[in-house]
Each structure stands twice: as structure tokens, then as C-alpha cells.
Amino acid sequence: MSLSIDAIKVGSEKHPKPADIHFQYGTAGFRTLGGVLDSVLFRVGILAALRSKRLDGRTIGVMVTASHNPEPDNGVKLVDPRGEMLEASWEVHATTLSNAPTTDALIEALNSLIQTAKIDLSKPARVVYARDTRPSGPALVAALEDGFKAIGAEARDAGVTTTPILHYFVRAINTKGTQYSYGEDSEDGYFRKLSDAYKKLVTGRPPASPLLIDCANGVGAIAAKKLANYLGDSLPFTLENTAITTEGALNNACGADFVKTSQKLPPSLSNVMKPGQRACSLDGDADRLIYFYLDERGVFHMLDGDKIAALVAAFIVEQVKIADLEDKVKVGVVQTAYANGASTKYLQERLPVKCVPTGVKHLHHAAERYDVGVYFEANGHGTVLFSDDTLATLHEHQPSTPAQSRGLENLISLTNVINQTVGDALSDMLLVEVVLSHKSYSGVEWDSLYVDLPNRLVKVVVADRNAFKTEDAERRLVSPPGLQSKIDDLVNKHQGGRSFVRPSGTEDVVRVYAEANLKAQADELAFRVAGLVYDEAGGDPVSRPKEFL
């Protein structure tokens, strides 16, 4: 069987590649201005179908979103059959296909992919796709659908939903009717799975005080509203920043990325939040979560992905102990270099901790090596993975006391409340609420698990960010040569100093992170290192990092 060249030709002519743009499938798929992505979406439609054929007709997911980016941006990423990120070797195929300059070049690239990846075209192609609330979404989805039609894929439209719900669908569809069945492949199935587990976990606990959820004016607003119907009064919450149809509102001065980056309360919440109240922000596609609260004096305190990891990992370890499973179930944590040094110290005193390069796929794969792998990026993306063996252990274990039995039941419910396919803001929110309820913690007690080291993130625009190469999970630079030792010298001059430099995977910049015992020192270190980077790499004069603040 060969490709239906005619159909692909017709489609490709309708979705021509802009001549002057080079596309790249980066850390989180393709991401750029929504207006230039038409040809990419058409081609991703074909690619997703080929990936499905390669995997014997298993369903592949396609998500159209640009997450926390501003509204004019959009993007697309593929989801592999277990609900995880696309296998790295196929990222290269995606980049190649997206850059074929003409229809003929595209067909040649497709044929070459079919040969090298040994794709049997007679296999079925099945995909499920969704989009977030961006205005450019519908047109891009139409281009994607043209791609599915051109190759004859069986495509299921999951409509407007969150990224993690799409990941859930993929896993649920592919495990349907097997012993690994992940749940019903519908939104109703998803919400029921999460909310039933949540309710079991908080049974008998005192009622929670109301939570405020900042929905970033994105798709999380729709999902959170639905979730409320399933939770009833087991978790009272109010939704803010739900203006999904207001032009320019998405992620604008709100949402998880805003809170994490600016370490501030979204201005839209300043009149809404009361001292002592706890709140959380989702990002634009609801796969990141940052908590915060106002203390008695109304001062803002942030509880980021590191704080979530500390809270959750300690709780799981405790439940494993209560269930008397310490010998059989080992819990580990995965972080990146961005994890606050104080969080790493806190966790290392309790559990094995591994540091990996930035990007969900690195964290996810490292977490898969533990019986229970807790992974969170400081930016609020993360989840917990329970290995198949651990799931079997939990279901076979015979508790010998009522306490052990409760610990075991809690662990089993945790496996259900957690979306194990990918970081999921709503699922993580329920997880956090469970732990807060069990520990009777308010934001203050949670925050005091450890005190964050002051830190600063700076970006530098350089001539060529690819000149920056790192090792040791991005904690050290190997190129440009000599730069790392200069950074080391600066670090040594700052008490409690730590700094690293890495090229961004999503923006054309180099990022500099620094932390130190004092805020002024962290700022100074970040700007000094950024200055070094600038001088070494010939940055854009406009963006030369200002002297430290």
C-alpha cells in the first residue's frame, strides 16, 4: 500500500509552508505565532496518523495549545499511546516534515520517513485531538483535520479541553478493556475518576475552607466548572479569571506562569483575596499549578512546584509507612536545576532525589524508574507515577491492622486522584487539597516545611543560543569554553550562591538562574552572570542585562 499522493497534494497546496520560517518541534512541540502555523498543523495531522500506523493502530493524541504563552501564540504537540510525550526520535521527523518547502518536498520527506521508520501503511491510523480556547484554535484544527483526511485517519474530536484531559483520553482509549484500563475515555469518566478518589481520601476530614482558583482566562475555567459539579461540597472553591472569550485576556497578568515568574499576586485578585486565604493558579492549558496565600498581614507567599513536591512526597512516604509497605515500595523524587536549593535539601534528607534536564519528558522518564516517582518542575508542572509492579503490590497486599488498611486504601485512592499521564493542574490541586486536609495544614504550615532561598531568573538574548551546551543536568556549561569557570568564580563570591546557564528550549534566549542566602545577593549574582553571558556571546545591545537591581 502506498500513500494517496493526490489527496496529500491537494491538501498540501491548500496549506502551503511560509517560505521564510524555520519550524522546530521543541520541548513542548511546535510553538510560535498562531497565524503562521497552518501548514504545520496540516503536516502534523499526517505525522500523527503515521505514528499511529507505526504503533499498530494505537491511538495518538494531538493537542493544539501554546500553554502559558500570550494569546497570539499557538502550538501543537503529539501524545504517545500511554499518554506520555512523543518519543524523542520522532521530534526530528516532525521538524523535517514541517520544513519541507514545497508539496513535492513534503511527499519526498513522507516517503523517506515511511521507509526509515518502517511504517506499514496498511495498518489503521487512529488519533484523538483537542484544542485550548485560543482564537486561532478553530482554523488550526481545520488544517489538522485536512491532514487526517488526506491520509485517511480515523480521527476523534475531543473538542475544547485541557492538555492533561487529552493525555488522559489517549491512555484511556489505548488501555480500554485490558488489565491496565485507565478509566472511561470520556470527560465524565475523567471527572468521576478524580472526584470519587478525592472524596474517598477526605472522608471524615473536617470541611476545607474555600479555595480560590485563578483559571488564567483559559480552558481550565471550563474544566474547573465541570469539576465543581462532581465534587459537590467536598471542596468548596470559587473561580476567578474565567474570561475565556475576552480578547487578549488569556494568561495576561494571571495564571501559573505569571505568578511563578513575577512572584506576585495577579492584580485581578488583589481585591478578591482575603488575608489567610489559599489560592492557586492554573496555566493556559491547565497542566501547571502554583499555590499561594496571603498571610494575616495580607503579604503574598508563593507555594510553587517544589513546595508541592515536598508536601506530596512526604505524605506518600508517610502512607507507605502506615500501610507497612516500606520494604516493597520505594518513593523517589525527580527535580530539575531550577528546583530551589532549600527544597532539594529538604527532600534529600528524606528520600532519593534525582536532577534531570528541563522538560517534562526527562522528568517523566526518570520518575518511571522509581516504584513511586514524584516529579515536579519549580514552574508547577508535575505528577506522581506508580509503577505497574507497585500497583500490583497495592492490590495484593493484605493489611493486618485497621491503620494499615487505611494507609493502603489511601495509597490506592492516590493512584486514582493523580493523573499519571502528565502534569495536571486540577488533579494536582485535588492531591494538594488531600494532603492539606490530612495534615490539617493551612498555607502557612505548608510553607514552613522549608524556607525558599532567594532566587532570580534572567534571560539574555544572544546571537546564537545553540553555542550554549550544558552537562550534569544543565547545571554546568561545557560551551562556550571557559565561561563556566568564570561563573564559578562569581558564585563563590556570593554566600549560599548557586547559578547556572542554559539555552531555552522554547524561546530564542539563554536563561540564567541564581540563588543565594540573601535576595540582593541572588539578584546581583544573576545579573553578573547574565553580563558574562552577554559579553561572551555577543548579545543584542538592547537586551544587555541591566546592572543588578
Residues making up the annotated binding site are 67, 283, 285, 287, 377-379, 502-506, 511
Query: Any bridge partners for residue 415, and if so which?
Result: none
| Contact window for Mg ion (CB under 5 A) among 13-21, 47-55, 137-145, 286-294 | 286-294
Does residue 287 bind Mg ion (CB under 5 A)? yes
Residue 120 neighbours by CB under 8 Å, 6+ apart: 53, 54
Residue 114 near residue 1 (C-beta atoms within 8 A): no
Residue 447 near residue 303 (C-beta atoms within 8 A): yes
- Write phi, then psi, for 386 (nearest 5 degrees): -110, 125
The listed partner (ligand 16G, Mg ion, none) that binds 283, CB under 5 to 8 Å by sort, is Mg ion
Residue ranges that bind ligand 16G, judged by CB under 6 A: 27-28, 358-360, 377, 379, 381, 504-507, 511
Does residue 73 bind Mg ion (CB under 5 A)? no
Query: Any bridge partners for residue 290, and if so which?
Result: 281
| Contact window for Mg ion (CB under 5 A) among 59-67, 219-227, 441-449, 519-527 | 59-67
H or E stretch at 293: strand 289-294
Judged by DSSP in three states, 463 sits in coil
Q: How far is the CB of 508 from ligand 16G (least distance, A)?
A: 10
Amino acid (one-letter) located at 208: A
Residue 447 neighbours by CB under 8 Å, 6+ apart: 293, 301, 303, 307
In the complex with Mg ion, the residue whose CB is nearer, 31 or 54, is: 31
The listed partner (ligand 16G, Mg ion, none) that binds 103, CB under 5 to 8 Å by sort, is none
- Neighbouring C-beta atoms of residue 142, cutoff 10 Å: 13
Q: How far is the CB of 423 from Mg ion (least distance, A)?
A: 8
The listed partner (ligand 16G, Mg ion, none) that binds 379, CB under 5 to 8 Å by sort, is ligand 16G
| Contact window for Mg ion (CB under 5 A) among 219-227, 283-291, 430-438, 511-519 | 283-291
The listed partner (ligand 16G, Mg ion, none) that binds 506, CB under 5 to 8 Å by sort, is ligand 16G
Residue 506 near residue 26 (C-beta atoms within 8 A): yes
Does residue 304 bind Mg ion (CB under 5 A)? no
**Span between the terminal Cα atoms of the chain, in Å:** 64
- Neighbouring C-beta atoms of residue 547, cutoff 10 Å: 9
In the complex with Mg ion, the residue whose CB is nearer, 282 or 331, is: 282
Annotated binding-site residues for substrate read 377-379, 502-506, 511
**Count of residues in contact with Mg ion, rule CB under 5 A:** 4
Does residue 283 bind Mg ion (CB under 5 A)? yes
The listed partner (ligand 16G, Mg ion, none) that binds 377, CB under 5 to 8 Å by sort, is ligand 16G
Burial of 485 (0-12, 13-18, 19+ CB in 10 A): exposed
Amino acid (one-letter) located at 413: S
Residue in 353, 287, 355, 256 with CA at minimum distance from that of residue 85: 287
In the complex with ligand 16G, the residue whose CB is nearer, 389 or 508, is: 508
Q: Is 67 a catalytic residue?
A: yes
Judged by DSSP in three states, 438 sits in helix
The residue sitting closest to Mg ion, measured at its beta carbon, is 67
Residue 164 near residue 287 (C-beta atoms within 8 A): yes
Catalytically annotated residue among 12, 39, 52, 67? 67
| Contact window for Mg ion (CB under 5 A) among 67-75, 165-173, 206-214, 449-457 | 67-75
The listed partner (Mg ion, ligand 16G, none) that binds 419, CB under 5 to 8 Å by sort, is none
Judged by DSSP in three states, 379 sits in coil
Q: How far is the CB of 527 from ligand 16G (least distance, A)?
A: 18
Does residue 433 bind Mg ion (CB under 5 A)? no
Annotated binding-site residues for Mg(2+) read 67, 283, 285, 287
Residue in 36, 29, 32 with CA at minimum distance from that of residue 15: 36
The listed partner (ligand 16G, Mg ion, none) that binds 543, CB under 5 to 8 Å by sort, is none
In the complex with ligand 16G, the residue whose CB is nearer, 410 or 506, is: 506
Whole-number CA gyration radius for the chain: 23
Q: How far is the CB of 540 from Mg ion (least distance, A)?
A: 28
Q: How far is the CB of 414 from Mg ion (least distance, A)?
A: 23
Does residue 67 bind Mg ion (CB under 5 A)? yes
| Contact window for Mg ion (CB under 5 A) among 46-54, 281-289, 398-406, 435-443 | 281-289
Amino acid (one-letter) located at 94: A
In the complex with Mg ion, the residue whose CB is nearer, 377 or 447, is: 377
In the complex with ligand 16G, the residue whose CB is nearer, 167 or 397, is: 167
Q: How far is the CB of 377 from ligand 16G (least distance, A)?
A: 5
In the complex with Mg ion, the residue whose CB is nearer, 11 or 164, is: 164
DSSP per position, 229-258:
HHHGGGS-EEEE---TTSTT-TTTT-HHHH
Does residue 285 bind Mg ion (CB under 5 A)? yes
What is the Cα–Cα distance from 333 to 181, expressed in whole angstroms? 26
In the complex with ligand 16G, the residue whose CB is nearer, 86 or 244, is: 86
Sole residue written with cell 552537562:
471
| Contact window for Mg ion (CB under 5 A) among 65-73, 366-374, 444-452, 502-510 | 65-73
DSSP per position, 499-545:
EEEEE-SSSSSEEEEEE-SSHHHHHHHHHHHHHHHHHHHT--GGGPP
Task: Show which residues are catalytic.
Answer: 67
Residues that bind Mg ion (CB under 5 A): 67, 283, 285, 287
